[in-house]
Structure 1
C-alpha cells in the first residue's frame, strides 16, 4: 500500500510505484501448489490485460507461460482460467450483473492506497469509477470523495 505516497513511474521500467514485482506469479504458484495437493485442476484468476497498467504479471503471455511452467514443475495438468483477460471494467461489471453478483462489488477493494473508504482518486479507483459510469450504475463501494 502506498498510503501517503504519490503514484509515480520508474524512469527505467516505466512501471508505476504500485507495481509489486511477481505478485500474481506468487499468488498463482501458491494456488497451484494447493490445487495439486487437493487434486484440483482449475484455477481462476482475475487478471486483466485490457486495463493493463504496465504490470507484466497481468499479461496473457505471462499467465500462459506460468501455466506451462507449473504443469512441467508439478507434472500435473493444471489450467489457469482468466475470464476477465480481455474485458474492460465496464464489461466486467455487466458480466457480474448478468451473473447476479453485482452486490458483491461492495465487498471488493481496488484502491491503491489501501484506504476504507476508498480514496476515489488513485488510478485504480478512477478506472473502477469510469467502468461504473460507462454502464450507468453507481458503484456500491464507499468512497471518500464521491
Structure 2
C-alpha cells in the first residue's frame, strides 16, 4: 500500500496511471471528508441558530470529559480521548463564532458518573455529574464562554 490506498492503485508498470489514480482517489476522499465535516456542526447547531437568537440567555453546553484534556489523555481509550479533544476544540471555535451574538458556548466534564457507561463503582451520582451542566445552563455568567468546566470550576484544556 501507498499512503493508505489499496495495492491496486500502485502499478509500477504505469507510473502515470499510478499518479493519476492516487491523486484522484485522494481528492475524492478529501472532498468527501470535507463535505461531511462542513455539515457538522452546522446541521446540529447552526440549524438551531434562530432558536438561540430568541433565547433570553442563549447557551450551548457540550458534555466532554477529562480525557479530552491535553494532559488527561489515556492510551487505553485513544478514540474516546480524541473525540473529546475534538469536541473541546469545536467548543473554542463555536464560542468565537457566536460571541458577537451573545451566545455562551462551553464544555463541561461530569466526572466519573454512576451510569450504564460509568458503572456502579463510579465516584459521582447522576445529580453530581449533571450539576455543572445545569449551572452552565441556568446560573453561570454569560461572559464565561469558550471555557472547560468541572465541578463549576474552570479547568485546563
Range into which the TM-score falls when normalised by the shorter chain: 0.3 to 0.5
| Structure having the larger proportion of residues in strand | 2
Give the alignment's TM-score, normalised by structure 1. 0.36
**TM-score with structure 2 setting the length:** 0.34
More helix by share: 2
